Amino acid sequence: MWVVKLILRNITRHKLRTMLTILGLAAAVVAFGVIRTLIDSYYAGADVLPPDRLVTRNAVSIIFYVPLAYKEKIEKVPGVESVSYGNWFGGLYKNDPKNFFPNYTVGPGFIDLYREYIFEPEQREQFLKEKNSAIAGQRLANRFGWKVGDPIRLTGQIYPGEWDFVLRAIYKGREPGVDENSLMFRWDYFDDRLRQTTPEMAKNGVGWYVVKIADPQQAPVISTEIDALFKNSAAETLTETEKSFTLGFLAQMDAIIVGMRIISYLIIGVILLVLVNTMAMSARERISEYALLKTLGFGPSHLIGLILGESMAVAVFGGLLGILLMFPVIGAASQFLQNFFSGFEVNALTILLAMTFVLIVGITASLFPIYKAVRLPIIQGLRNVG
């Protein structure tokens, strides 16, 4: 008990220094949490994708078409339950780049393959009945204040002209991380419009196929069989799980993500330097006190307990304060980033990592002061009085 009292007294001896150290540690923990959460959110969309969906695209690049005639052949592959297709559209709402969001056209049965999308049955039926209907995610609808029945006009960047739709369904994600920032509209409307206005752009091809399989364990075998059907053709294919397909897109930002990871670990280094500096200052000020304690019969274990306890107490207070502040900070950040990221929330692993690093920093920061106090001769220490 006396050790705890002495540790608390040592901490409060220089209140301003201790408070600034704790605030510095808390700020670093918050920064670490925000960066980690941003990285987790970046990959959240891929993590929630089910393993029983494959994507088949042109083997050269997704910007090249895959013939529409491939659909019937893919459906006949053993283990395949259903097939649909999609194509990137790339329109801008109100012709403003600030209003960018993912938008693409989808074939029959596409929305049925995405069990993670939840919307009212009557909205689904209305989407299937009306040719120029569209479906939007809940976050996208909230972003622009859209409601079911509202007209939406997109200005084509790849496919020219003004494209008018009617919002007939708004979907929500079944779990955090499911994308709610996309807009989808029907393939038949897209195809008919191209053939009427720009027939030179109308092609009997799609951007990619989505393939639902019965057994996720057979994904590699089925993928190989699908690609074998079109080997040596004019449009060879590459089939992979939808998660791998999505991660392939995310890989284009790998340099930025790696940089963010490095920054998150550099922040841990900042925490260490802050606390090491504080503990070093404290150790220099208390050299004579440690020497006096030795003359009174206190052994190395007592000094280790005092110094380590002080370092750990400051680290834990700063870590806990940082974690408490992390939630409102990330909550505020999510309001600005929800249009770009799904599942932007603190997870248990981030908290665990933050506290683990804080504890490691607390222990590491005490090593040099402990070494100095334990090895210091009593006579030399007493000379520092005053």
Residue 243 lies in a domain: no
Beta-bridged to residue 167, according to DSSP, are: 134
2 is written with which tokens?
Answer: 């006396």
Average pLDDT over residues 326-353: 74
Instruction: Report the C-alpha gap between 259 and 254 in whole angstroms.
Output: 8
Is 99 domain-assigned? Answer: yes
Please, which pLDDT band fits residue 237 given cuts at 50, 70 and 90?
very high
Specify if 300 maps to a domain: yes
Q: Both 292 and 354 in a single domain?
A: yes
Asked if residue 294 and residue 221 are part of one domain, the reply reads: no
Q: Is residue 13 part of a domain?
A: yes
Q: How confident is the model at residue 356 (pLDDT cuts 50, 70, 90)?
A: confident
Q: Do 230 and 258 belong to one domain?
A: no
Give residue 371's pLDDT. Answer: 77
**CA–CA separation, 59 and 72 (whole Å):** 19
Asked whether residue 55 is domain-assigned, the answer is no
Helix or strand run (H / E) with residue 122: helix 121-129
Q: Is 117 part of a structural domain of the chain?
A: yes
Q: Which residue did the predictor score with more confidence, 80 or 22?
A: 80
- 95 and 197 co-located in one domain: yes
Predicted local distance difference test score (pLDDT) of residue 109? 92
* 109-123, 210-224, 299-313, 348-362: least confidently modelled range: 299-313
* CA dist., res. 23 & res. 319, Å (int): 9
Distance in angstroms (rounded) separating the CA atoms of residues 374 and 104: 69
Give the pLDDT mean for 343-357. 81
Domain that holds residue 174: 60-235
> How many domains would you assign to the chain?
2
Q: pLDDT for 136-173, tens place per residue?
A: 999 899 989 999 999 999 999 889 899 999 999 999 98
Report angle CA 75, 47, 223 to the nearest 5 degrees: 25
What is the chain's length?
A: 386
222 and 113 in one domain? yes
- Per-residue pLDDT reduced to its tens digit, 58-93: 998 888 899 999 999 999 999 999 999 999 999 999
pLDDT, position 162: 94
**Rounded mean pLDDT of 356-370?**
81
- As a whole-number percent, the residues of the chain with pLDDT over 90 amount to 34
Residue range 288-301: mean pLDDT, rounded: 70
Of 208, 235, 262, the position where a domain reaches its end is 235
**Is 377 part of a structural domain of the chain?**
yes
Greater confidence (96 vs 275) lies with 96
Please give the average per-residue pLDDT across 345-356, as a whole number: 84
CA distance 160 to 198: 8
User: Which of 202, 235, 268 lies at the terminal end of a domain, its last residue?
Assistant: 235
Contacts for 264-271: CB closer than 8 Å, 24+ residues apart: 264/32, 264/35, 264/36, 264/39, 267/28, 267/31, 267/32, 267/35, 268/28, 268/32, 268/357, 268/361, 270/28, 271/24, 271/25, 271/28, 271/29, 271/318, 271/357, 271/358, 271/361
Looking at the structure, do residues 17 and 110 belong to the same domain, yes or no? no
Residue 113: per-residue pLDDT:
93
Give yes or no: residues 104 and 148 share one domain: yes
Indicate whether 203 and 93 sit together in one domain.
Answer: yes
> 319 and 187, same structural domain?
no
Task: Indicate the residue among 235, 270, 301 that finishes a domain.
Answer: 235
Same-domain status, 280 and 177: no
Q: Does residue 386 carry a pLDDT above 50?
A: no
Q: Give domain status of residue 54, yes or no.
A: no
Indicate if 71 and 108 belong to the same structural domain: yes
Give the model's pLDDT for residue 33: 85
- Are 78 and 225 contained in the same domain? yes
